[in-house]
Chains A and B, each alone.
Chain A
Amino acid sequence: MIMKKIGSVEFSILGPEMIRKMSAIEIKTPETYDKDGYPMEGGLMDAHLGVINPGIRCKTCGQGMRNCPGHFGHIELERPVVHSEFGRKLELLMNTTCKDCGNILLPEEQIKKLQEEAKGKVVDKTKKIMIKTKTVKKCPHCSAPAHKTTLDKPTNFFYNKERIYPTQIREWVEKIPEEHLRILGYDTTRIKPEWFIMTSLQVPPITIRPSITLDNGIKSEDDLTHKLVDIIRINQRLKDNIEAGAPQLIIEDLWDLLQYHVTTYFDNNTAGVPPAKHRSGRPLRTIIQRLKGKKGRFRYNLTGKRVNHAARTIIVPDPYIDLSELGIPEEAAKELTVPEFVTEWNLETVKKIVEKSDRPVYIIRPNGTRRKVTEENKEEIVKEIDIGYRIERNLKDGDIVLFNRQPSLHRMSMMAHTARIMPGKVFRMNPIVCPPYNADFDGDEMNCHVPQTEEGKAEAKKLMLARDQIISPRFGAPVIAPKEDGVSGAFALTMPQTEFTKETAMQLMYEIGVTELPKPDRGKKYSGKLIFSQILPKDLNLEYESYTSKIFKQAGMKPEDGKIIEQYMNKVKIVNGNIESGVIDSASLSEGKGVLVDTIAREYDSIVLEQFYHDLNRLTGYILTEKGMTASLAEYDVSNNIETLKNKVINETMKKAEELVESYKKGTMEIIPGRTIQESFEQYMMRISAEAKDKVEKAIMQEKLQYVTGEEAVLNTIAMILSKSRGSTTNLMNIAGFWGQASVREGRPKKGFKKRLITSNERADEGLLAGGFITNNFLDGMTAKQYFYHSMGGRQGEVDTGVSTKVSGYLYRRLANSLKDIVSAPDGTVRTASNSLIQYQYGEDGVFPKNTNKGKSVDVLEEYKKMKAKKN
């Protein structure tokens, strides 16, 4: 391949001589076709301009339709016309130069100075010159009076309030000397200002304005052709009138008309010009309309290219398919095709596919010709198929497809799945892959693409398969992990009280495909932990603290308090794939932090983790439907003890706050180093209310833990909080305890009225209640004032989510776009598309984060543990 570096790209405008040189033919007649339907000689469809019909040869280059690039023609304009896009440029030139001599309206020394500043280069100093020439009344070079030129947009000029015509303007700007143009920003070797006024007009090749033959044989012309016809007509009339010696007035009218047509030919949306209409009243789509905007060439056709072999519908969760599977609706599968190469090994299978298919199948012969298989020619074609043929068959189970959700922010936004054709009209996906796509099922639509080559299929399978994306390349920990029901279910299964009869245990074993029932571990019964252990790899050894035990500790519980409590508080200990103690909760299974998931993902093949998720799904699904997990208001009712404690704590806090306010006002309050008095005071106040909240929260949690520590565990929101599958202790506190301090921007709400938050407060009351402290909870309901404080905090949260998603989304987009072409090269360096260096070692240490343990390339402690285990 020949590679050449592009040094620079230059945009300029064409002069009349250049237009004539480039032109294949001068267009003179407004007619396009003669009565026999052949292009008119010298007309807009002249065969010199290129070919669009097959079989005809171009009169300019002699090539056929495929190879002829199309050629430009030109129209000689009878009178010059201003190019509407350059009106402003002309106005600037005319206001800085003299009409008589063409020199800049500045004394020689000043021009010299400017030229020196430019150092002989072409520099645009128009702005500077404009400021100085505004007040000049007389040309310093030829003493001619200087007047102001005004532009009546887009193309009419007035000099000293009198109309000045394009011919005059052309003469004027031709006079401007080269040295002066250079400091006005014009490089005269490339561009001359008189070219802003056109004496000849380019006619684009017919390839960009093809005429369409309708079914009834009537030819329909492109909008651009229509516009060019208008220009030629007026040009012809102008010529006739000039030759006939018509009065000046008529000529000027025609001239303006020509100007109008040329203006709208370039831009049919020019301000101050009525848009040219088609016969039907539709505005014409001329050059600028073709390129500009959302529906223009750039955004619609070049950046927005569309692909074949793709499908898009609504997504729906289906936990009974694997995470790297994708349910594709039959309807879509019938439209999507996959090429199958006929080899000696699959010849018979392929023949069967062609025979049995109820949808049209295509065969592609080795020479590239395609043939549709129909009922009539089926037998004949089946006989014909041989090695080297290709068929395009419908999608079937097991085909590899790509699945994508916009916005595609990271590589996990597009992953490969294996297809499963399913009834219905929607895509079905395992809800466990929602986080990487950031998908939910409130009406989200997603796209599916079918790779068409063997290379594509292999790449998709090896690099993009969903189960190989479980560990995020961003932080080296799993992004695909159970959530909500998955965690709750695992928790319900591994609670100390959970045990099953032989019958239920066998049912559960059947769900996960274990054929040999292990020995019961609780007399005649089977514990939930034993069942859970069946889905773990047999050589897994782990020990870590569960989230549940942390909550128990926070609530002030001790292992000595009871046998069940002790079991909850034990560390999770897995020995040879058997859970010996502890409960499985979010500390084992969550996204990013789940130790169990993380270890399986790291130590085993990805298919092991996929199988684990598959089994876990079945177990949790069964257990949750069997036991039921439900929420009731009764869970948030607190005992009288808590109620009295709550009142006591609030009263104490009030008293403390009063003392604090007093010491603050007296000035005896201790100041936090580095803070002002006010800041310190606010901090103390926040601290007091937080302390109060903590106390009550702890007590409530302690009481609520009874739900799970009883002989028979109750599965409700408390179990959810404990396993961290949903909700937090703070949420519980807000419902059953009290809300505490409402906060706006990390502090007590400040803004409101003069020295007070709301008008029902006393002025300058710094106390707790006047500063947004809420003593009630959601269950009891708040007072009007407290509700208002709460809304202040709520509003900030709402604004924050709105603003931060918007801002960070745009920021991320810009960052991602700037980095998207940067690749890590085979030699370990990081390079841009043009092969220049960014980093000498990928990430400075040459380590791919996906292969690390949460960012650390080597976890020394873990490696030591492993070595120790091996030694024993």
Chain B
Amino acid sequence: MPCIEKILVILLVEKNEQKIIQRHYLVPEHVLIKKEKVDELMAELGIKKDSLPRIAKLDAAIKHLKPEKGDVVKIIRDSITAGQSTYYRRVV
């Protein structure tokens, strides 16, 4: 029977909860787009800002970006079909 004789355990404790969330493999990258650039982006996408899906201002994934109401968040997700895909959300 194989036996492990010595085990060395190192526990790495991250005190910053925010960083743990950001580092989690299920949390995609969030980038903040400032209000001034939003109109430009909307024109590019050919949509109105109201039709964007929403994200809470206090959402754990974007809290550290300190967003304001009306900002747009760009989310870069891994995608099975396209490799990477970008999504936008309106901060409320």
**B-binding residues in A (CB < 8 A):** 670-671, 827, 829, 831, 835-841, 843-845, 847
Assembly CA distance A841 to B85 (angstroms):
9
Assembly CA distance A843 to B81 (angstroms):
7
Q: Contact: A841 with B82, CB < 8 Å?
A: yes
Assembly CA distance A843 to B87 (angstroms):
12
Among B1-58, those with CB < 8 Å from A are 1, 45-47, 50-53
Q: Contact: A840 with B86, CB < 8 Å?
A: yes
Assembly CA distance A172 to B34 (angstroms):
58
CB-CB under 8 A from B50, the residues of chain A are 836
| Among candidates B1, B45, B85, B88, residue contacting A844 with C-beta atoms closer than 8 Å | B85
**A-binding residues in B (CB < 8 A):** 1, 45-47, 50-53, 79-82, 85-88
Assembly CA distance A844 to B52 (angstroms):
16
Q: Contact: B81 with A836, CB < 8 Å?
A: no
Closest Cβ of chain A to B91, distance in Å, is 15
CB-CB under 8 A from B88, the residues of chain A are 840
Closest Cβ of chain B to A196, distance in Å, is 38
Q: Contact: B85 with A840, CB < 8 Å?
A: yes
In the complex formed, the residue of B with least CB distance to A827 is B46
CB-CB under 8 A from A840, the residues of chain B are 45, 85-88
A-B contact sample (14 more), CB < 8 A, given A837-B52, A845-B82: A670-B1, A829-B47, A831-B51, A835-B51, A837-B47, A837-B51, A840-B45, A840-B85, A840-B86, A841-B82, A843-B82, A844-B79, A844-B80, A847-B81
CB-CB under 8 A from B79, the residues of chain A are 844-845
In the complex formed, the residue of A with least CB distance to B2 is A673
Assembly CA distance A829 to B51 (angstroms):
12
CB-CB under 8 A from B82, the residues of chain A are 841, 843-845
A-B contact pairs, 25 of them (CB 8 A): A670-B1, A671-B1, A829-B47, A831-B51, A835-B51, A836-B52, A837-B47, A837-B51, A838-B53, A839-B87, A840-B45, A840-B85, A840-B86, A841-B82, A841-B85, A843-B81, A844-B79, A844-B80, A844-B81, A844-B82, A844-B85, A845-B81, A845-B82, A845-B85, A847-B81
Most buried by A among B1, B50, B81: B81
Assembly CA distance A837 to B80 (angstroms):
20
Most buried by A among B45, B46, B51, B88: B51
Assembly CA distance A670 to B45 (angstroms):
61
CB-CB under 8 A from B81, the residues of chain A are 843-845, 847
Assembly CA distance A847 to B79 (angstroms):
13
| Among candidates A837, A841, A843, A847, residue contacting B53 with C-beta atoms closer than 8 Å | A837
Assembly CA distance A847 to B87 (angstroms):
17
In the complex formed, the residue of A with least CB distance to B46 is A827
CB-CB under 8 A from B1, the residues of chain A are 670-671
| Among candidates A836, A843, A845, residue contacting B51 with C-beta atoms closer than 8 Å | A836
Main secondary structure of the interface of A (DSSP, over half): loop
Assembly CA distance A847 to B82 (angstroms):
9
CB-CB under 8 A from A836, the residues of chain B are 50-53
In the complex formed, the residue of B with least CB distance to A852 is B81
In the complex formed, the residue of B with least CB distance to A856 is B81
Assembly CA distance A838 to B87 (angstroms):
9
Assembly CA distance A841 to B51 (angstroms):
15
In the complex formed, the residue of A with least CB distance to B85 is A844
Closest Cβ of chain A to B52, distance in Å, is 6
Assembly CA distance A844 to B50 (angstroms):
21
Closest Cβ of chain B to A856, distance in Å, is 10
In the complex formed, the residue of A with least CB distance to B81 is A845
CB-CB under 8 A from B47, the residues of chain A are 829, 837
CB-CB under 8 A from A827, the residues of chain B are 46
In the complex formed, the residue of A with least CB distance to B78 is A844
Assembly CA distance A836 to B86 (angstroms):
16
The 5 tightest CB contacts between A and B, nearest first, are A845-B82, A844-B85, A845-B81, A844-B82, A844-B79
In the complex formed, the residue of B with least CB distance to A847 is B81
Most buried by A among B47, B50, B80, B86: B47
Closest Cβ of chain A to B63, distance in Å, is 24
In the complex formed, the residue of B with least CB distance to A669 is B1
In the complex formed, the residue of A with least CB distance to B45 is A840
Assembly CA distance A584 to B45 (angstroms):
51
Assembly CA distance A843 to B88 (angstroms):
15
CB-CB under 8 A from A670, the residues of chain B are 1
Closest Cβ of chain A to B28, distance in Å, is 13
CB-CB under 8 A from B87, the residues of chain A are 839-840
Assembly CA distance A845 to B81 (angstroms):
6
Closest Cβ of chain A to B27, distance in Å, is 18
CB-CB under 8 A from A844, the residues of chain B are 79-82, 85
CB-CB under 8 A from B53, the residues of chain A are 836-838
CB-CB under 8 A from B85, the residues of chain A are 840-841, 844-845
Assembly CA distance A166 to B88 (angstroms):
58
Closest Cβ of chain A to B51, distance in Å, is 5
Closest Cβ of chain B to A672, distance in Å, is 11
Most buried by B among A837, A839, A843, A845: A837
CB-CB under 8 A from B46, the residues of chain A are 827
Closest Cβ of chain A to B9, distance in Å, is 18
CB-CB under 8 A from A671, the residues of chain B are 1
In the complex formed, the residue of B with least CB distance to A671 is B1
Assembly CA distance A447 to B68 (angstroms):
55
Assembly CA distance A841 to B52 (angstroms):
14
CB-CB under 8 A from A831, the residues of chain B are 51
Assembly CA distance A845 to B50 (angstroms):
24
CB-CB under 8 A from B51, the residues of chain A are 831, 835-837
Closest Cβ of chain A to B55, distance in Å, is 13
Assembly CA distance A844 to B83 (angstroms):
9
Closest Cβ of chain B to A780, distance in Å, is 42
Assembly CA distance A464 to B50 (angstroms):
35
Assembly CA distance A838 to B54 (angstroms):
11
Assembly CA distance A844 to B47 (angstroms):
17
CB-CB under 8 A from A838, the residues of chain B are 53
Assembly CA distance A836 to B53 (angstroms):
7
CB-CB under 8 A from A843, the residues of chain B are 81-82
Closest Cβ of chain A to B72, distance in Å, is 12
Assembly CA distance A847 to B85 (angstroms):
13
CB-CB under 8 A from B86, the residues of chain A are 840
CB-CB under 8 A from B52, the residues of chain A are 836-837
Assembly CA distance A671 to B3 (angstroms):
11
Closest Cβ of chain B to A495, distance in Å, is 42
In the complex formed, the residue of A with least CB distance to B83 is A845
CB-CB under 8 A from A841, the residues of chain B are 82, 85
Assembly CA distance A787 to B53 (angstroms):
59
Most buried by B among A831, A838, A840: A840
CB-CB under 8 A from A837, the residues of chain B are 47, 51-53
Closest Cβ of chain A to B59, distance in Å, is 18
In the complex formed, the residue of B with least CB distance to A673 is B2
Closest Cβ of chain B to A666, distance in Å, is 13
CB-CB under 8 A from B45, the residues of chain A are 840
Assembly CA distance A670 to B52 (angstroms):
58
Assembly CA distance A413 to B85 (angstroms):
32
Assembly CA distance A524 to B88 (angstroms):
72
Assembly CA distance A671 to B82 (angstroms):
43
Assembly CA distance A831 to B46 (angstroms):
13
Assembly CA distance A654 to B45 (angstroms):
70
Assembly CA distance A393 to B74 (angstroms):
59
In the complex formed, the residue of A with least CB distance to B54 is A836
Assembly CA distance A831 to B85 (angstroms):
17
Assembly CA distance A553 to B52 (angstroms):
57
Assembly CA distance A499 to B8 (angstroms):
73
CB-CB under 8 A from B80, the residues of chain A are 844
Assembly CA distance A254 to B48 (angstroms):
64
Assembly CA distance A839 to B80 (angstroms):
14
Assembly CA distance A840 to B86 (angstroms):
8
Assembly CA distance A835 to B87 (angstroms):
16
Assembly CA distance A493 to B41 (angstroms):
63
Assembly CA distance A16 to B46 (angstroms):
52
Assembly CA distance A253 to B85 (angstroms):
74
Assembly CA distance A297 to B9 (angstroms):
68
Assembly CA distance A829 to B86 (angstroms):
12
